[in-house]
């Protein structure tokens, strides 16, 4: 492979540390696509003959078939996917195979292959996010009126609905899809033609190869073209944030399925049992998603560390870009599929949720708001009166809605029996009619908006 510069083969240890075909074979489809586009451009520009291009294209088609049926001979001696393809092409069509590498280096070859792979991964992830959002929206629509406690500090705060809670995740995953789309747009420039680092003296048409591969344009600087891995880092950053959101939802599913909460049930399809405790039904899918986020974060950190100290242009360190990226997207795609399945599978327990919605004096803010609206009391004074009411109810061992009117009037004489109309969890949730609020009508409005966006 090295031509006339070397007279001996590399040591076995050198071969072991240098070979990458074990993982970069995943770039096979992208490598073939890049080679087809490059060969067609070379012929059009008169760099190779039509006969040479026809032989190359036929050989590449044969290789594609071999890869599809599993007969392609991947060999460590040829180090990576690029040289494996080139070596097999030479076996199939003879010396003309060597013309394919005219005006091209493995540096720009791997750069375009890897960009194509990451671009495809972003596309797959966006579609998976949309599927997860559709599952969440459907479940939210069915539960726009299902009361549950809203939490801060994992303490009951104010009543909301299960639909409203689920729609929060629709927003999160919407931002994730936007980040992947934004990263995809930025990475959609073609490095093919940058060659090793300085461009090519041949009359190549980089616009043509960019168009053929679905890129918006060629990259504008040959040094940056072969040394850039921002596109992978940006995609991994988006994957990490998406993983954080998946982990938060997983944590809630784990909590909600405990007997102490009992807010939801998962079927046998998304739970496992215990080898010793017959009663157990564990939310292992949620727990594993929660754990896999560590892989995403680790992959981002790993590639960041690889890239942080590299001078321009290409260094062999950059061979270590693929494994963390492949592993991260494998974990993310499995996690997104599992989460969509769990969301579709889970069933709320409305009685449990409703009972918890009124716990912890969750309508206290409604009392304070009532004092402001009906007695024209400054909110800070209303907050003080309400705090005193909570303290009194706690002493008497009752909820705010059960506190006698005389007790409330002892705190503020203007309070009337009408106040009890706002002290139920359902009334509290229904009153939150501001845009994006927890009122069922607002939840349904957001559901309708997202259903239209996700068509």
The residues that are catalytic are: 153, 274
Are 371 and 382 in contact, with CB atoms under 8 Å apart?
Answer: yes
Task: Name the packing angle between helices 50-69 and 28-44 (round to 10°).
Answer: 170
Burial of 74 (0-12, 13-18, 19+ CB in 10 A): middle
Rounded distance between C-alpha atoms, residue 102 and residue 104, angstroms: 5
Contacts of 303 (CB under 8 A, 6+ apart): 229, 232, 233, 236, 320, 321, 324, 325
Phi, psi values for residue 183, rounded to 5°: -60, -40
* Sign of the CA dihedral running 178, 180, 184, 186: positive
The residue to which tokens 């009117």 are assigned: 405
The residue to which tokens 């009663």 are assigned: 279
Q: Bridge-partner residues for 152, per DSSP?
A: 155
Residue 136, SS3 per DSSP:
helix
Q: Bridge-partner residues for 161, per DSSP?
A: 147
Contacts of 180 (CB under 8 A, 6+ apart): 122, 125, 126, 129, 235, 238, 242
Token representation of residue 200: 């090519």
Token representation of residue 181: 């789309």
The residue to which tokens 């026809």 are assigned: 54
Rounded distance between C-alpha atoms, residue 33 and residue 31, angstroms: 5
**Range 442-449, long-range pairs (CB < 8 A, 24+ positions):** 442/164, 443/140, 443/144, 443/161, 443/163, 443/164, 443/167, 444/141, 444/144, 444/163, 446/167, 446/170, 447/137, 447/140, 447/141, 447/144, 447/163, 447/167
The four Cα atoms 99, 100, 101, 107 give a dihedral, to 10 degrees, of 180
Are 234 and 185 in contact, with CB atoms under 8 Å apart?
Answer: no
Phi, psi values for residue 148, rounded to 5°: -155, 160
The DSSP code sequence of 43-80 is HHTTSS-HHHHHHHHHHHHHHHHHHHHT-----GGG-S
């Amino acid at each position: 492979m090295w031509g006339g510069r070397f007279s001996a083969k590399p040591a076995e240890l050198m071969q072991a540390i240098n070979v990458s075909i074990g993982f970069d074979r995943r770039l096979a489809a992208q490598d073939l696509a890049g080679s087809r586009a490059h060969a067609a451009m070379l012929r059009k520009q008169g760099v190779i003959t039509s006969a040479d291009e026809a032989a190359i294209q036929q050989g590449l088609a044969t290789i594609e078939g071999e890869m599809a049926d599993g007969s392609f001979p991947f060999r460590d001696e040829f180090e990576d996917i690029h040289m494996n393809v080139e070596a097999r092409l030479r076996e199939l069509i003879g010396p003309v195979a060597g013309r394919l590498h005219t005006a091209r280096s493995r540096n720009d070859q791997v750069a375009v292959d890897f960009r194509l792979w990451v671009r495809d991964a972003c596309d797959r992830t966006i579609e998976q996010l949309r599927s997860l959002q559709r599952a969440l929206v459907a479940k939210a629509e069915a539960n726009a009126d299902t009361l549950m406690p809203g939490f801060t500090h994992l303490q009951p705060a104010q009543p909301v609905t299960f639909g409203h809670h689920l729609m929060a995740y629709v927003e999160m995953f919407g931002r994730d899809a936007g980040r992947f789309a934004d990263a995809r747009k930025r990475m959609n420039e073609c490095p093919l033609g940058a060659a090793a680092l300085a461009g090519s003296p041949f009359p190549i048409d980089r616009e043509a190869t960019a168009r053929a591969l679905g890129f918006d344009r060629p990259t504008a600087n040959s040094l940056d073209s072969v040394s850039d891995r921002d596109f992978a880092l940006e995609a991994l950053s988006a994957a990490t944030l998406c993983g954080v959101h998946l982990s938060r939802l997983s944590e809630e599913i784990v909590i909600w399925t405990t007997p102490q909460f009992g807010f939801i049930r998962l079927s046998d399809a998304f739970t496992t049992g215990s080898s010793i405790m017959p009663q157990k039904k564990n939310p292992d899918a949620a727990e594993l998603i929660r754990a896999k986020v560590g892989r995403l974060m680790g992959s981002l950190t790993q590639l960041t560390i690889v890239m942080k100290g590299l001078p321009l242009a290409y260094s062999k360190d950059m061979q270590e870009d693929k494994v963390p990226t492949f592993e991260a997207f494998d974990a993310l795609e499995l996690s997104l599929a599992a989460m969509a399945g769990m969301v579709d599978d889970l069933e709320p327990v409305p009685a449990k949720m409703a009972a918890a919605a009124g716990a912890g004096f969750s309508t206290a803010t409604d009392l304070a708001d009532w004092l402001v609206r009906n007695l024209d009391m400054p909110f800070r004074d209303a907050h003080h009166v309400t705090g005193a009411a909570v303290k009194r109810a706690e002493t008497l061992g009752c909820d705010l809605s059960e506190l006698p009117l005389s007790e409330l009037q002892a705190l503020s004489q203007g309070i009337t029996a009408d106040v009890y109309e706002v002290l139920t969890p359902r009334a509290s949730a229904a009153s939150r009619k501001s845009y994006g609020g927890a009122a069922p009508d607002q939840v349904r409005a957001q559901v309708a908006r997202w259903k239209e966006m996700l068509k």
